[in-house]
Amino acid sequence: MSFIPVSEPLLNGNEKKYLNDCIDSGWISSEGPYVTKFEEQFAAKMGRKYGVAVCNGSAAIDAAVLVLGIGKGDEVIMPTFTIISCAAAVIRAGAKPVLVDADPITWNMDINQVEDKINKNTKAIMAVHIYGLPVDMDPLQKLAEKHGLYIIEDAAEMHGQTYKGKPCGSFGDISTFSFYANKHITTGEGGMILTDDEALAEKCRSLRNLCFVANKRFIHHELGFNFRMTNLQGAMGLAQLERLDEFVQIKRNMGAKYTALLKGIEQITLPVEHTHYADNIYWVYGVMVKAGYGLNAEIIMARLAKEKIGTRPFFWNMHEQPVFNEMGLFRNEKYPVAENMARMGFYLPGGMALTNGQIETVTEKVKSVLQ
């Protein structure tokens, strides 16, 4: 049996055709028609006015934080259970991330802990949709309105997901996506910023392109970055976007099949299929080892690796990151739900190209290594 990787994309639509177009036309850097087409069509699909494509999802968060003017003395509330890009962007902007624990059912930030963390320095709430189910946005939006806060929505993992029927990525003052190869749609590396605010979109465009000024090239009044997406990536993105609905269905079928085959195994908890506001989109199919069996994610993942099954651990929490603790951040903070998730959770192969046969093999191996 050959190794089953944790994620493999499906690139058999118009990807080659559009990429050949770039090569034939010579438009391979960030100028060329595909970036704009991808931005416009992606924004439209997510119900937003403006899309600004960038080089990856982490850069998208950096830009989002900066264009909202978040900086020294400001605080941004976010989940401890997330990728480092979220906290790093806030710290790089000179502001302070303020953490909340996770919800044990959806694995998203526990929205009941947010209001207690709001003070006069709070500028924004960063809502990060985790693994397949969105954050419960209604209560968060009410809090943001009540306290005059921005919402930065990190929808990196949530292409095609909805919250109460409205697309994820349409909730933030500014929303961000990633198109890394394990995402529902991929450009290899890539990201997107969405907003309905023209001025914010314009600032993002400037920031991603070194803050060049239109008619005075090479004279700069502000510092920017080269966060540009290439036309090659835009071409891939457009081809992938054409299949987003199909890809969402593939992932939902995958999730349903895993759940049907793994249901009833007493040592592990499976992802929640739906909440009152969304059906799981299974960006990844995460499972958690239950306490009391003398097992943890690391042990099970090592056993599965021997059986040629690729897995990944859950995120490691922000308050437990050596890099932040050494900066004096989050020391002695405790978030027990997220701490348990980081130690007991991992995810199974779940890429777009995964076959039903591979899902069956994975589940058999999971059962055998849990014995």
Ligand X SMILES: Cc1ncc(COP(=O)(O)O)c(C=O)c1O
Site residues (CB under 6 A) for ligand X? 56-58, 82-83, 85, 128, 154, 156-157, 178, 180, 191
Q: Is the dihedral of CA 113, 118, 122, 123 positive or negative?
A: positive
Closest-CA residue to 172 (of 110, 125, 130): 125
Task: Name the residue with the smallest CB distance to ligand X.
Answer: 57
Beta-bridge partner residues of 287: 346
In the complex, what is the shortest distance from the CB of residue 331 to ligand X, in angstroms, rounded to a whole number? 24
How close are the terminal C-alpha atoms of the chain, in Å? 21
- What is the side-by-side strand order in the sheet with 174-178? 50-54, 191-195, 174-178, 150-154, 122-128, 75-79, 96-100
Measured CA distances, 301 to 24, 30, 111, 353, 369 (Å):
45, 40, 31, 21, 9
Give the residue with the Cβ less far from ligand X, 159 or 365. Answer: 159
d(CA 258, CA 359): 7
Residue 173: which of 209, 199, 135 has the closest Cα?
Answer: 199
**Taking Cα atoms as reference points, which of 90, 83, 246 lies closest to residue 159?**
246
Query: Token pair for residue 40?
Result: 């416009």
- Closest distance of CB 364 from ligand X, Å: 28
CB of 219 to ligand X, least distance (A): 31
Q: Smaller CB distance to ligand X: residue 262 or 342?
A: 342
Pairing of the two strands 122-128 and 75-79: parallel
Work out how close the CB of 56 gets to ligand X at its nearest, in angstroms, rounded to a whole number: 4
Nearer to ligand X, 262 or 283 (CB): 283
Which of 6/128 has CB closer to ligand X?
A: 128
In terms of CB distance, is 33 or 313 closer to ligand X? 313
Question: Which residues lie below 8 Å from residue 16, measured CB to CB, with a gap of 6+?
Answer: none
Cβ proximity to ligand X: between 107 and 262 the closer is 107
Q: How far is the CB of 128 from ligand X (least distance, A)?
A: 5
In whole angstroms, the minimum distance from the beta carbon of 311 to ligand X comes to: 16
Distance CA 163, CA 292 (A): 35
User: Are 187 and 55 spatial neighbours (Cβ–Cβ below 8 Å)?
Assistant: no
Angle made by CA atoms 168, 150, 122, in degrees to the nearest 5: 130
* Amino acid letter for position 337: V
CB of 218 to ligand X, least distance (A): 29
Question: Minimal distance in Å, beta carbon 148 to ligand X?
Answer: 25
Closer to ligand X by Cβ: residue 162 or 178: 178
Q: Which is nearer to ligand X, 127 or 201 (CB)?
A: 127
Number of C-beta neighbours around residue 332 at 10 A:
6
Q: Tell me how far, at minimum, the Cβ of 332 lies from ligand X, in Å.
A: 26
93 vs 366, which CB is nearer to ligand X? 93
Shortest CA distance to 227 belongs to which of 80, 87, 85?
A: 85
Q: Whose Cβ is closer to ligand X: residue 83's or residue 168's?
A: 83
Other CB atoms within 10 A of residue 262 CB:
18
Phi, psi of 118, rounded to the nearest 5 degrees: -80, 130
Alpha-helical regions (H) of 46-157? 57-67, 84-92, 137-147
Q: Report the nearest approach of ligand X to the CB of residue 64 (Å).
A: 11
